Structure formats: structure tokens, C-alpha cells
Chain A
Amino acid sequence: MIRHSVEVALATVVFAVAPLSAQLGSYNPEPGPRASVVIRNARIVPVRGDVIPNGSIVIADGRIQALGTNVTTPAGAQVIDATGLSVYPGMMDAGTTMGLAEIEQGANATLDASETGRFNPNAQALWGINPHSANIGVTRVVGITHVISRPTGGLIGGQAALINLAGFTASGMALVPRAAMVMQLPGTGGGGGGFGGGGGGGGNAAARTATIDSLKRILDDAEAYGRSVDAAARDATLPKPVTDIILAALVPVVRGQMPVIFPAESQGDIRAAVEFAKERKLKPIIFGGRDAWRIADFLKENDTPVIFARTMSLPVRDDDPYDVHYSAAAKLAAAGVRFAIASGESDPDVRNLPYVAGMAAAFGLDRDAALRAVTLSPAEIFGVADRLGSLEVGKVANLVVTDGDLLEARTTTRYLFIDGRNVPLATKHSELYDMFKDRK
């Protein structure tokens, strides 16, 4: 009965906009081909470099070809007059499960972010991502052009993907198909928050040690496996080890080549993740990071970046300042911790990312730093700042043209480019709006 109404609604949408299929979530219109475009008379906010009050930006072959006050328009390029408009790099939310999870409650069959079992390093988000998820369309039209979509289950959940939010296949959307491993250490309890401190939950000390030991064993095995594969490659007389897809997936992790996302909120859990990574020579990224600001110096000392996803979380302790999490990003910035801001929302609400960054700016974070925290900073943390995160010649043309400040809720998007493709601004939501707005 419930499904029936969804299907009826879908069928109606399909009827109204013929090219869409009736598959659940097939609402995202096709992005155009890689365009040759010049956006003129725009206020350009490159994030790295000064704002250009009135300039042009040239896009071709999926890349930014030129930008500034004096650019040559390629022959045959489409011209967009952006008088009164602003161009920003597209935003990135580094903490989603985009395409892996459609409807949280009551539609279990749409949830693919979590595998069974504790060790799934070989599980790849990319193979579970539905490029037609309705969440993708509504997220990109606020100017979020790419996201980390990550697995969430077990101790080693699997590999997160960095994807563009436009495309008809997951592999076609992938910017970095295997961007990071997700590793969830058992909670340390207490949390080191002192009197009445909020804890990270999770088991007694003995159980925690046993769990950590099991994690260390598999990392030891991966190191040994990597060495034996290398040895066999160098010396044909040595036996070639039996391929182990689980250990093979961990080799770049134990060699510090693939970053590891550690979800951690309390001081104790964050500290434990950093110490564990240091001991095992991993490349850690803290995700969540509720209490990161309380140990900012420690994070700075260890040069550990934080994807801060708790700006909008309620304070944990009754007597915490009301703005304890609103102001946390400013404190991380002041301490010199490398950080990015994530929405901390489930996928349908990831589109709140700009307002979350805006909230951090309302509570002490410099406005430019807030913009950077959702553009260039996450790109740096994931090692893709050479391609993404700012408007610079040679970078991927992921950008958004707005009629106002990118982080403001009242701002609307006028044009959206992902991978240099002009992306239509229609979504499931705008389709339903158009269908019902004039009903009498």
C-alpha cells in the first residue's frame, strides 16, 4: 500500500518528464556532455587566491582552462553571462553514504552501507553506489559537487569512494574509486572528559584489548602478505603467495599509502585512534571529531586531520556551553589543526552542508575559512587538492554559479558544472513542485 503510492507518484513523474525511468530514485536528469563554456562578468571566488570581482572562467574538456580578468574565449564556446552572479568551487562533504543508502527506516532493502562481519577491507563503496539515488540530485543542486561515500559496518568497514554527484554509472562518477579505508576502533569508554564526561561507549577493557589485538593481527598479516607478494615478484624462485583479496586490500593501508578514516567522537576515542595509527604507521583521518577541539594541540602535534561533522550536534553535557559544537571549528582553526567540515547528516540532508559551515562561521570561524572547510580543505585531506577544491587552471571543472553567498540558505544556484558537464538543476523535488504547485 505504501509502495503503491510511491509507485503511483513515480509513475506520474515519469509521465510528466518522459525520459526518466520508473526505477525508485531515477529522478536525476542527465548531465550534458563536457561543455566548452565561458562564464563572463562573474564575481569569482577561487578559494585559493583573491576574489576576482569581475572576471571570466573558461571550461573545456572537463577542466578549468582559464580564469581571470583577461581570458580568451575559445571559438564555439557557449557564453554564460554571469552579471551579478558568483562562481565558487563545488563543495565536498567527506562524510556521506551517498548512493549506498536510500531510505533509513522501513526500507531495509535500500540500505547497502554496512556489510556483515568485522573485517571487510575489500568491500568497496563504489560497487554499492546507486547513481540514480534521489539523494544525489537534491544534494548537488546546492553546489555540493563531490562527496566521500563510505561503508560504515564492522571494525574495518571497507573502502570509501570519492565520487562526483553526476553520472549514470558509479565508475563514471568516481574521482578516486578507493579513496580511504574505514576503520572503527572499539570505544574507550569514559572518554577522558573528566567529571561526567561523555564517553564513546563500548565494552570493558579486556574486550577492547582483544578487539584491538584482532585488528593488529590482520594488519600484521597484511604487512607479511605484502612483503611476500613483493618478494615473489622480485625473485621468481620464491613461491607466489596464494591471492588473498582481504589482505591485498589492506596492503596500501599498512604501507601508509591509503588514508584511514577513523570515526571517533570522544577525546579518548580520538586519542586512541591517533595513537593506534602512529603505532601502526597508518595515515589517519578522524571523522566525527566531536571533542577534537578539546585535544587540538595533540592533533596538531600529530598532524592528524579531522573531518568535523558535529557542528550541529547538541551538547553532550548538561552544562556544556550552548555553542560548544558551533564554535568547535573555530577552535580547531585557531589551534592550527587541519580540518574540514562535514554536514554530519544522513544522505537526504547532506544538502545542509553550506548552512552547517555557515553556523561555524557565525560562531567564530572566519568566513573564508568556513568556505575553505567545505571546498579546499577536504580535498587536501584526501590528497586531491591538485584536482579539486578551488578554482584554478587545470583543475576539474566542479563549480557552481550562484546569486549570492554560497553558504547562505537564501542563495539559489543558477548553473552547476560537474566534471565540466552542465548539470540540469531539476531534481525529484523540483519535479514534484512543478507538478503540484498550480493544482487548484
Chain B
Amino acid sequence: MRRSSTAVLAAVLVAAMLPPHAAAQQATLIRGGTVITVTRGTLSNSDVLIQNGRIAAIGSNLTAPAGATTIDATGKFVTPGLIDPHSHMMVDGPVNEGSLSVTSMVGIADVLNPTDPGIYRALAGGTTMLNILHGSANTIGGQNAVVKLKWGRPINEMLMPGAPPGIKFALGENVTRKNSGGGGGGQAAAPRRYPASRMGQAEVLRDAFVRAREYQRTLAEHRAKVARGERNLVAPRRDLELEPLVQVLEGTRYVHAHGYRADEMLMLLELADEFGFKIKTLQHALEAYKIAPEIARHGAGISTFADMWGYKIEAYDAIPYNAAITMRAGVLSTLNSDDAGRARRMNIEAAKLVRYGGLTDDEALALVTINGARQLGIEARTGSLEVGKDADVVIWSGHPLSVYSTAETVLIDGTVFFSKERDRELRTALAAERATLEAAEPNKLPSRGSGRGQATDTTAAGEDHR
């Protein structure tokens, strides 16, 4: 009873937060701000003109077309929306299909919840895009989803059109379940499963790709027979497990591989070289700094934490200089959150790399903007402020790398999905609505001592999958 009324309340509140619908078609002129394009320098006292969801012009003294909304950004900073290349937000239910170690057939897009309040909270921190991945329990975890955080819109409008498909791989302690046996980290005690060692996980990968290569050959032979006009053929049975791995072999699906230690990441790079495919990104990659030249030679990128370390054995040699070292070695590097909490302040995560490793402001910002777009294969669409790109834009109260700055207005495809002003209005409306609902007969609090303690406290649970 209580639960369902809470659900009703949540649904009503979500509905109240829907952004104005028609705005995408309108023009918006952001006037007079310091425009940090990330890829094309920083322009003081400049304007950004948005039309039809795209950036139409960047420059000084631009003219607003008739009917355009003007946002005064005098004294403020304008940047591209932040991209978080490793998230488990919006995943409704378990993040691992943990029964097997190769679950390439499952797709995270099937279980995304567009009403996760984490979306709004991340938006309020200037984050506009997530790469949503499976957890790291499985050697091959499942197919990813790239979403724009269009709070209030249905999930099909959030999925980034044209983003190349990807797949999560994982290596190390989480796969070998060294920390799961005793129910640590909030997980139920896990049964022992192959692979239980770093030796085993290499063989799980080898086995999967041997089978994928044979499946690929079978498909190719069949296609050749069809092409030759042979008759009475029986098509090979479609294999949903191997199909995504064939796409990996053919370079049409990106591998985002969770790994911590240098040795396990090198194993994967060598195995990929052997089978002739590429690792697009090493995720977390906390010891990437030890093997930066090898990673650069393979051509993989890395997506890491700014300064998280020491929370488990394989994180004990992590250093906050990681991304600085890899970036300078020519590795395409990004920072990620892996956590709904951290996803709210990726700008500050980036700022830490100025302290640790001495990155320039633009280099630091690239870690959370354009480089993420490059790792997801959508750099032509987003990740920097350039004419023709999607208008994924954040207006900050001050320099985005300052702890004192906040995101004031956040646009995705030219539509405002967060603004402080609108948030204030919504708060008043929410408070009134909440009061009304609480006063309604079915929602009255039960008398004392009849189960008010049932409400769960979620602060301890978190959704970390580091």
C-alpha cells in the first residue's frame, strides 16, 4: 500500500519535470560567455547560436534569429556537455548476467530506466552523456548502450543514434571473484566458477574467440555458396553469443575492457593482436601508466578514475597521475565515474589532473568531453563546441574546473534539460504536490509503531561497480 503510493508519487513528480517539448525546434542564442570549445581554443565574450538542435555558429556579436531564446552568459563559461564513458546508471536490476562468464548475447539497452533520478542529478553537474556498461563479473559481460541524458523523455529518445555498438569485457579480481566469496561489497556469496584465476580468464577469452572465428568462417562459407548460386542450402543457425564477437573480429563492435593490473591488460592486448582485433578502450586501467607505450602501440584508449585507489588489492598501485602519463604517451584517455555520485562532478575529477601531472585546462577538459566522444566513435556529433555538432552545451557559473562553479543551464540537442531557474520553480511545485499527496486519505501515515521502519536507507548501498 505504502509502496504503491510512493510509486504513484514518483511518477507524478517525474511527469512534472518534463522539459518543454517544442524547444528543440527553436533557436537559442547563448550570449557573451567565455566559450571553451575544447578542440578549437577558448573565446572570450563570445556567443553560441543553436538551431535545430545543432550548433549553428560560434563567434562574437551573433544575431539571434526571430523568435530565438536568448540566454545571457555574461561572466559565465560555456563548454560542451560532459561525457562519462563508464556508467551503470539507469540499469534496472542486476548489472551482471552472472550465471556464465561469457554473456555477449545480453544487451544493457533492454533494462534501462529513463526515470532514474540519477539522470537529473548528473545533468545538474553538467554531464550529458553516458556509456552504460554491464558489470565486471563476467569475462565478456554484454552489449553497451550510449545515452544522452534527456531527462523526462522515453528511453528510445535517449539512445544515441549512430553510436557504434560496443561490448564489455572484464579482467581481474571481479571476474575471478576473489572478493565475492564472502558476500563482500554487498553481493551475495558467489559460487566458485571458471575462471577463478587470471590464467583461466585468458583461456575463456581464447575459447570464445576460437569459436567466434569458426562461426565467422561458417557464415562466410555459406555466403560464398549463396553467391555462387548453390541450391538447397541450409543456413547456419544464428548464434547470439558469437554474433557480437564476430562483429568484434570484423571491427564493427568496440571492446570496452575492464582491467586493473598491467599484466592482465597486456594479456588482453596480446590476445587481441593474435586474433587480429582491436581493444577500443581499457576501462579503469589503473595500472595503465606502467604500460603506456604498449597501450599506445596497440591503439587502445583508456578510461580511468582521476584519483580513486587503494580500495582493493588490484587498486593498490593506482596513482592519480595515470591519465596524465597515458595522455602524454599518445593514448586516447578519459575519466569516468562508474558511480551515480561521481557522475555529478566530472569537472572536478578533471581538475585533479591539473594538480596531478600538470595537464593544461584544455587537456583536463578533453578527458571528460571530446576524448569520450572519440572513444565512443561519435566525435563528429558531440564532445566539443564546433559548428555542425549536436548542441550538447553547459553554461557554468564560473570556470568549469573550479570547485566553486556550478552548472547553471544544460542543453542536449539544443533543448534545455536542466536549469537552476527551472529547478527552483519545480521545487516549489513539487513541495506543493507532495503536501497534497501526503494529505490525501490513502497516503496518510499509519499510526505510530506500525512499520515506519520499513523505509530503506539507500545511502549505504551505492551502485559502485569498480
Contacts and interface: CB of A to CB of B under 8 A. Distances in A.
Interface of A: 1-3, 5-6, 9, 102-107, 134-135, 189-191, 193-202, 204-205, 265-266, 290, 310, 312-316, 318-319, 321-323, 346-349, 351-352, 354-355, 358-359, 361-363, 367, 407-412, 428-430, 432-433, 436-437, 439-440
Interface string B320-363: 11001100100000000000110011001001101111000000
A319 B184 CA distance: 30
Given A367-B404, A409-B401, 16 more contacts: A6-B313, A103-B316, A106-B173, A107-B313, A193-B455, A200-B457, A265-B459, A312-B345, A318-B117, A322-B120, A358-B348, A359-B348, A362-B405, A409-B348, A409-B354, A432-B319
A204 B452 CA distance: 11
Using C-beta atoms within 8 Å of the partner chain, give the interface range for chain B: 35 or more
A362 B307 contact: no
A374 to B, nearest CB: 12
Given A359-B403, A429-B320, A440 B293 contact: yes
B239 to A, nearest CB: 34
A407 B307 contact: no
Interface string B104-145: 000000000000011011001000000000000000000000
Contacts of A103: 310-313, 316
Contacts of A204: 453
A6 to B, nearest CB: 6
A358 B403 CA distance: 5
A362 B354 contact: no
B317 interface: yes
A437 B288 CA distance: 11
A316 B319 contact: no
B310 A135 contact: yes
Interface of B: 6, 9-10, 13, 117-118, 120-121, 124, 173, 178-179, 184-185, 197-198, 261, 263, 289-290, 292-293, 307-314, 316-317, 319-321, 324-325, 328, 340-341, 344-345, 348, 351-352, 354-357, 397, 401-406, 423, 427, 430, 434, 437-438, 443, 445, 449, 452-459, 462
A287 to B, nearest CB: 14
A352 B307 CA distance: 9
15 contacts: A2-B178, A5-B263, A6-B313, A107-B313, A200-B457, A316-B459, A348-B309, A349-B308, A358-B403, A408-B403, A408-B404, A410-B401, A433-B325, A437-B321, A437-B324
Contacts of B352: 409
A361 B404 contact: yes
A70 B366 CA distance: 46
Contacts of A194: 438, 445
A437 B292 CA distance: 9
Given A196-B9, A313-B459, A318-B10, A410 B351 contact: yes
A105 B308 contact: no
A190 B455 contact: yes
A191 B455 contact: yes
A358 B344 CA distance: 14
Contacts of A107: 312-313
B456 A433 contact: no
A-B interface, 9 closest residue pairs, ranked by CB to CB distance from nearest: A189-B453, A358-B403, A348-B310, A190-B452, A409-B351, A105-B312, A410-B354, A433-B321, A429-B319
Contacts of B406: 362-363
B348 A355 contact: yes
B309 A359 contact: no
B307 A349 contact: yes
A134 B309 CA distance: 11
Contacts of A410: 351, 354-355, 401-402
A10 to B, nearest CB: 9
Contacts of A354: 403
B423 A322 contact: yes
A290 B405 CA distance: 23
Contacts of A6: 313, 316-317
A349 B311 CA distance: 9
Contact of A196 (B6, B185, B314): B6
B310 A198 contact: no
Contacts of A408: 351, 402-404
Nearest to B325: A437
A105 B404 contact: no
A428 B315 CA distance: 13
A436 B290 contact: yes
Given A107-B313, A315-B121, A195 B438 contact: yes
Contacts of B124: 322-323
Nearest to B264: A5
Nearest to B6: A196
A142 B314 CA distance: 24
A410 B344 CA distance: 18
A412 to B, nearest CB: 5
Contacts of B316: 6, 103
A436 B6 CA distance: 53
Contacts of B289: 432-433, 436-437
A2 B263 CA distance: 11
Contacts of B292: 436, 439
A348 B311 CA distance: 7
A412 B434 CA distance: 46
Nearest to A196: B6
Contacts of A433: 289, 319, 321, 325, 356-357
A52 B352 CA distance: 28
A407 B214 CA distance: 57
Nearest to A429: B319
A316 B462 CA distance: 10
Contact of A409 (B293, B309, B403): B403
Contacts of B456: 198-199, 201
Contact of B317 (A196, A199, A361, A432): A432
